[in-house]
Amino acid sequence: MKIRLIAVFMGFVFLSGAFAGGSRENNASQGPAPYTIEVGGSTSVTPLMELFAQEYQKAHSNIKVNINGTGSGDGINNAGKMYQIGMSSRELTPAEQGLGLKEVIIAIDGIAVIMNSSSPISNLTIEQIRDIYTGAITDWSQVSGGTKSGRIAVISREEGSGTRGAFEELVGFQGKLLAGANEFTSTGAIKASIAQNTEAIGYISLGSVDNTVKAISVNGTVPSNDNVKNGSYKIARPFIVLTGNNVHAESTAFVNWMLSAAGQGIVSRSWISVR
């Protein structure tokens, strides 16, 4: 009887070990644990980040990338907090540099000055653009050479936008935006407004220009990636991603991938690669 009980017990132990071993094998075969990377910030960087996420998730089935287009200011202030990765389309201010964030430039982008597709105006000088945005020029007759008249509808991004900060600095009117200018919180909203208003002028990421609006020349230079690269088109800025001190390994791997040949190949579709 004792021998039979021992045999039954040993068989139980053996089966238990087999099931345990099978469980370990199944766990190992499941691959890396799932992980979600939260990304937030610049709406200008968002279209590029969405392309990054699509390709990265194809190769890393355990990773999900959530992207929130909330503006550069939010991306900077919440990097390492609400977001593992923040996005900015402008340089950080001295105060923001004191936050201890790691900055990585992932692309260079031109800022295109855009108008309604039916507008006869195809070129403005930097000085004319500055005067329009500060209110020194208020009617198209003042810059059109007789081809157009009408009160100018000045369209800008909202306060805190990376695109606005870069545009104001590069054109030279920081803090002097015309009172009463129409301010929008996204690239899409600006394009939609200009597409419906023949008197409007605005600015967006060069990589976001499509056939709904017209990008005009500045100082006689066409806004293009080649002209940004060779320095002849002056209105350009970096796309930056930001991380805090305690960065998860998966977030670090994603940022490193953005700088890889695969990531920079995506950049070169519509923007300027940095490697």
Using 50, 70 and 90 to split pLDDT, how confident is the model at 32? Answer: confident
DSSP-assigned states of every residue in the chain: -HHHHHHHHHHHHHHHHHHHHHHHHHHHHT-SPPEEEEEEE-TTTHHHHHHHHHHHHHH-TTEEEEEEE--HHHHHHHBTTTBSEEEESSPPPHHHHTT--EEEEEEEEEEEEEE-TT-S--EE-HHHHHHHHHTS--BGGGTSTTS--SB-EEEEEPTT-HHHHHHHHHHT-TT-PPTT-EEESSHHHHHHHHHT-TTEEEEEEGGG--TTSEEPEETTB---HHHHHTT-S--EEEEEEEE-SS--HHHHHHHHHHTSHHHHHHHHHHSB---
Quote the pLDDT of residue 160: 84
State the average pLDDT over residues 82-102.
94
Quote the pLDDT of residue 84: 98
- For the chain, the straight-line distance linking the first and the last C-alpha, in angstroms and rounded, comes to 77
Mean pLDDT of the chain: 90
**pLDDT of 8 over the 80 cut:** no
**pLDDT of 247 over the 80 cut:** yes
State the average pLDDT over residues 242-264.
97
Quote the pLDDT of residue 272: 92
**pTM of the predicted structure, to 2 decimals:** 0.76
**pLDDT of 29 over the 70 cut:** no
State the average pLDDT over residues 139-144.
97
What are the tens digits of pLDDT across the range 158-217? 998 989 999 999 999 999 999 999 999 999 999 999 999 999 999 999 999 999 999 999
